Structure 1
Amino acid sequence: MRRRITHLLAALGLGSVLALAPLAAHAEEPPRLGDSYVYDGADVLSDAEEQAADARLDALKDETGLDLWVVYVSNFESPSASGDWANATADLNGLGNDQYLLAISTEGRQLYLAKPLNGGLAESKLVAIEDAAGTALGDNDWAGAVDLAADEMAQQVKPSYTIWYVLGGVVVVAAIVIVAVSAAKKAKRRRGEQEARETLAAEVEKFRTQATGLLLEMDDSLRTAEQEMGFATAQFGSEAVGEYETAVTNARQALNRSFTLQQQLDDRTPETLEEQHAMYSEIIQLLETADADLDEKAEGFEQLRAIEKNAPQVLEQLTARRASAADGPERITAEIARLRQTYAAPVLDDVDDNDDEAASRLQFVDARLAEARDHVAQGDSGSAALDLHEAEQALGQVDELVSAVTGLQKRFAEAEKDARATIADLENDIAQAQGLTDNDGSLTRAIQATRTHIEQARTNLSGSERTPLLVFEALTNANTQMDQILESARAAEEARRRAAAQLDQTLRQAMGQLQSAETLVNTRRGAVGAEARMSLSQAQGEINSAIAQRESDPTAALAAAQRGLQYALSASKSARADIGAYEAPASYSQGSSSGIGEQIVGGIIGGLIGGSLSGGSRRGSGWGGSSRSSFGGSRGGSFGGGSRGRSGGGGGSRSRSGGGRRF
């Protein structure tokens, strides 16, 4: 193309322009682009090919929203590296986000696709586009390279529907699974409900059989009990059968209530299984309780009848027991006096009058035995049985009164032994507590309180005013409290240990992130706003707090270090956002002397051709008058308006760690 322009200028006799023509023909430094997507500095495309390539790239913009410029030069110079040359060209022309430049060295057989610094296609996609273009370029198909590059870029930008197919399949499968699981749950629930109904029905049938049997048994038992009560009244008197009569009356009421319930169950109004279950349960409970009460009272009559049959022999046995129990009150008095020498009066209050009670019971026994002798002599075995039964019960009470006192010494000795063992346990707890950290003083207070309990216990376990039962109870409570406090302290100590182990690592991370954030702010302070600086200050404060507390309270220090790390991360994030916003309006303004020269040549040529020719090529020969000039029209994000900010205002803002290839 440049060769064609040179011929045109020669035909017009423009000698001054021809003097500049070699500069244009050999402009292999990063050039200023015109209004077309294609820059053919190597003159490898025909007019028709160039127009077709431009149309294809225009269509690519409509398809993908991405701009792709293709630049052909013979060789890359100033810089000579393909990547540097492509990025410099993009910077020079102010390409922005979503704008790419494919640089092709026709004689150097190299190509490179420059991308935006922020975002852009992934490296693998860029390589795929380069490979597609390289396929045509390897066969010197210069125009075909544009088509293949555009096709591949469109393909790479297309969303992958595979994942949606997969997700759709997953959703369908999940829906099927959900329906299946729901159906299974419903079926399981129905089976469970059916099984529960069957179980309930079986239990109701079991209760029906049991209730029917109990009704018959209780009816028979009551008839027998009422007859027995009549005999017992005649034999032992109405006073002796009073409790039994009450039991019979209660049983009759329970039986009547049960018959009423059974009648309701047997009538024409059906009850639910739950109602039947409840009613049969009530029948069973009523009748079993009444039967147990009758049995208990009947047992007393059995004992009376046994005594009645052997009244003379029982009288002799109880008379001998009375003689053996005669010294019971004296034994109680002597034992209490001995215990008072060692133990405090309050611990003996419960048994202090046992000797008097025992003496009173013995007097009652004497009276009942005397009456029994008279009744035996008179042949009244029933009355004798009642007297002997009461005497036997009173003698049993005397034995209990004596045992309550004589057994105290053993109880006190066991309590003292247990108390001393508890003291040893508490002292061990104190030793463990002293080795734990006590941040709030609760452990110190617990230790002091426990020591007080121990001192009081030792005092109360010695001398003549001992209270072993009370001491053991107090020590048990103190031990429970100390165990709880120790458990909390050990948990806190373990948390402290874990925090201390994690603290150093977190502090290193926080301080490193803080240093990175400070460097970012310091080197770009003109672009960084208040939010990042405030986060930076907060991060420093939290880190200082963590360092100050690392020995005294590692847990609090760890929390502070974690907050410091988050503030430092926030500071870096805010600073980067501020820097990006600050640099975004900047264009690719790193020009070169040759670039300026080319603008001059372009202006002269454009003016001459625009003034003397009409109906030229669609591309035109100037960079200033087309509707695509400066890419400010439909393509958007153009020269001077791109969103690729330059770091620090210098060098290029497009970067790939690799890329480019030969063909």
Structure 2
Amino acid sequence: MTGDLWWVPSAILLAFVVLGVTLVVASARRRRRDREQAEAAVVAERARAAAIALVRADDQVGAATDELGFAVAQFGEAATRDFATALELSRRQLRDAFALQQKLDDSVPDTESERRRWTEQIIALAAESTTRLAEQDRVFTARRGRERDAPLLLEQLTRRVDRVTDRVASGAASIDRLRLSYAPTALAAFSGNVAEARTALGQAKQATDAAAAHLKAVPGYPIGDELAAAELGLFHAGKLLDAIETGEDQLHVGQATLNAALDSADAEIAEARTLRDGHEESVAAAELNRVITAADAIVAELRHPSRVSDPAADLARLREVLDGLDVTRSEARNQQLRLDNARAALAGALLAARSQGTVTRSFIAAHPGRVGAEARTRLAESERLVALAEAEADPVTALDTARRATTLATDADALARYDARFD
């Protein structure tokens, strides 16, 4: 019986395999269906967005057409030329967008890629069209606001013209005062601002005078252009005068910084003089004297009471000479430190050379005839170098000589002991 049922486990396994495959296929189909539905929802949403954008753009173009007519009647064709250009461009874009929508709506089959691309183009064209016209609408709304408040704005601008006139006179006085203390190069960045501010102020005053004459002759006359020109002229004049005030503040700060740097220079020069006067090396002292003289000359020049200053340039000159002083002073200080260190080590080096020489000389004396000439020659040279080191004025040279003497005495001792051992 067992032999008759051998196929049962195989049938069960096959059933599980078939079930697994069925589930995988069903899951894949479900995922594909969900993805297709999601993509279809996105496409439908973009299509609705395109339709809404088209309607909005069409309404905007219609409203802008009426608005342009009102603007031309109120401000004239010259003032509305940019508006007319913007409207024509928006109309062309709207026509292009409707043409694309027609291709989507006709009976000619379209690919999914084409539909997506055309839908996005419709949305972009409509958005550009409405944005452009909205900007023009803001411009003319603001302009009508100015025209409505023109008498008040003109009065305010007239008062500003008076205030800026006073500031121009004050700026000219500031420049004249600064010329007494500062060089032309220090004032170059803003010395011409008074003349430029006068020109801008003149343009603003001319615009306000023209606006006042127009309103007097024809109440309600559109003076927006004159008001805008006056505003622009006053803005430029104000910026130019602000630069004078800022420049003056910066010059005073620069001069204070220069004065502090000159005081610091005095201390640095005094320190260099002390180092020069106590330095043992004549070459280093001479080099210190050279840079001290150069620094003294610059400091005296920059402090001269009748001199006009350019703080930035003067600081650069002072810093350059003080940098040179600092480098030379550091080198001289290192040289002096080297001398001091050598002098401190010299006594020990001479003691070591003498002691080793005495030991070696005693060993040779204790072994007469057994130590050769080489050991005796090195000892003699060591003793000669000790005498030179003791007489040398330069401690660095003396230290090097004493150390060579110690080495020779040590070599002589080793050779002597070798000779005595094998004689």
Question: Which TM bucket (shorter chain)?
Answer: 0.5 to 0.7
Q: 1:540 is matched with which residue: 383, 386, 389?
A: 383
The unaligned stretches of length 5 or more in structure 1 are 1-222, 240-299, 583-663
Distance 1:398 1:568, change over 3 A: same
- TM-score, scaled to structure 1: 0.37
Deviations 1:276-332 (CA, angstroms, capped at 9, x unpaired): xxxxxxxxxxxxxxxxxxxxxxxx99x989975863466554443332221444444
Distance 1:338 1:580, change over 3 A: same
Q: 2:332 is matched with which residue: 480, 483, 489?
A: 489
Aligned length: 290
Identity over aligned pairs, percent: 19
Residue 417 (structure 2) pairs with residue 576 (structure 1): yes
Question: What residue in structure 2 maps to residue 461 of structure 1?
Answer: 303
Distance 1:316 1:446, change over 3 A: farther
Letter in 2 for 1:434: R
Q: 1:509 is matched with which residue: 338, 342, 352?
A: 352
Question: What residue in structure 2 maps to residue 450 of structure 1?
Answer: 292
2:304 is paired with a residue whose SS is coil
How far apart, CA to CA, are the structure 2 residues paired with 1:530 and 1:448? Answer: 54
How far apart, CA to CA, are the structure 2 residues paired with 1:511 and 1:338? Answer: 78
Distance 1:440 1:361, change over 3 A: farther
Are the equivalent residues in 2 in contact too, given 1:322–1:362 (CA < 8 A)? yes
How far apart, CA to CA, are the structure 2 residues paired with 1:453 and 1:315? Answer: 61
Higher-Rg member (1/2): 1
Deviations 1:400-429 (CA, angstroms, capped at 9, x unpaired): 343156447634641453244133323432
Question: What residue in structure 2 maps to residue 325 of structure 1?
Answer: 164
Distance 1:540 1:363, change over 3 A: farther
How far apart, CA to CA, are the structure 2 residues paired with 1:561 and 1:511? Answer: 9
1:573 to partner: Cα distance: 0.8
How far apart, CA to CA, are the structure 1 residues paired with 2:193 and 2:365? Answer: 94
Are the equivalent residues in 1 in contact too, given 2:370–2:419 (CA < 8 A)? yes
Aligned counterparts, 1:225-244, within 5 A: none
Deviations 1:106-164 (CA, angstroms, capped at 9, x unpaired): xxxxxxxxxxxxxxxxxxxxxxxxxxxxxxxxxxxxxxxxxxxxxxxxxxxxxxxxxxx
Q: 1:473 is matched with which residue: 316, 319, 343?
A: 316
Question: What residue in structure 1 maps to residue 266 of structure 2?
Answer: 424
Are the equivalent residues in 2 in contact too, given 1:415–1:468 (CA < 8 A)? no
Aligned counterparts, 1:93-172, within 5 A: none
1:436 to partner: Cα distance: 4.3
Are the equivalent residues in 2 in contact too, given 1:335–1:405 (CA < 8 A)? no
Question: What residue in structure 2 maps to residue 410 of structure 1?
Answer: 252
1:526 to partner: Cα distance: 3.5
Residue 389 (structure 2) pairs with residue 553 (structure 1): no
Distance 1:515 1:318, change over 3 A: farther
Q: 1:394 is matched with which residue: 227, 236, 245?
A: 236
Deviations 1:577-635 (CA, angstroms, capped at 9, x unpaired): 122222xxxxxxxxxxxxxxxxxxxxxxxxxxxxxxxxxxxxxxxxxxxxxxxxxxxxx
Distance 1:368 1:546, change over 3 A: farther
How far apart, CA to CA, are the structure 2 residues paired with 1:306 and 1:422? Answer: 63
Are the equivalent residues in 2 in contact too, given 1:371–1:387 (CA < 8 A)? no
Are the equivalent residues in 2 in contact too, given 1:457–1:475 (CA < 8 A)? yes
Question: What residue in structure 2 maps to residue 519 of structure 1?
Answer: 362
Question: What residue in structure 1 maps to residue 101 of structure 2?
Answer: none
1:467 is paired with a residue whose SS is coil
Deviations 1:538-558 (CA, angstroms, capped at 9, x unpaired): 423443343233xx4323322
How far apart, CA to CA, are the structure 2 residues paired with 1:458 and 1:390? Answer: 48
How far apart, CA to CA, are the structure 2 residues paired with 1:546 and 1:434? Answer: 26
Question: What residue in structure 2 maps to residue 363 of structure 1?
Answer: 202
Are the equivalent residues in 2 in contact too, given 1:368–1:387 (CA < 8 A)? yes
Distance 1:304 1:484, change over 3 A: farther
How far apart, CA to CA, are the structure 1 residues paired with 2:204 and 2:385? Answer: 87
How far apart, CA to CA, are the structure 1 residues paired with 2:295 and 2:140? Answer: 59
Are the equivalent residues in 1 in contact too, given 2:371–2:419 (CA < 8 A)? yes
Distance 1:569 1:387, change over 3 A: same
Distance 1:361 1:443, change over 3 A: farther
Deviations 1:20-66 (CA, angstroms, capped at 9, x unpaired): xxxxxxxxxxxxxxxxxxxxxxxxxxxxxxxxxxxxxxxxxxxxxxx
Q: 1:498 is matched with which residue: 330, 338, 341?
A: 341
Letter in 1 for 2:329: L
- TM-score, scaled to structure 2: 0.54
How far apart, CA to CA, are the structure 1 residues paired with 2:234 and 2:141? Answer: 13
Are the equivalent residues in 1 in contact too, given 2:389–2:398 (CA < 8 A)? yes
How far apart, CA to CA, are the structure 1 residues paired with 2:323 and 2:408? Answer: 45
How far apart, CA to CA, are the structure 2 residues paired with 1:453 and 1:499? Answer: 31
How far apart, CA to CA, are the structure 2 residues paired with 1:567 and 1:492? Answer: 28
2:165 is paired with a residue whose SS is coil
Question: What residue in structure 1 maps to residue 283 of structure 2?
Answer: 441
Are the equivalent residues in 1 in contact too, given 2:161–2:234 (CA < 8 A)? no
Question: What residue in structure 2 maps to residue 610 of structure 1?
Answer: none
1:388 to partner: Cα distance: 6.1
Distance 1:335 1:511, change over 3 A: same
Deviates more, 1:366-375 or 1:561-570: 366-375
2:347 is paired with a residue whose SS is helix
Q: Which has the higher contact order (CA 8 A, sep 6+)?
A: 1
Letter in 1 for 2:407: Q
Letter in 2 for 1:394: H
How far apart, CA to CA, are the structure 2 residues paired with 1:344 and 1:574? Answer: 79
How far apart, CA to CA, are the structure 1 residues paired with 2:344 and 2:306? Answer: 56
Letter in 2 for 1:517: T
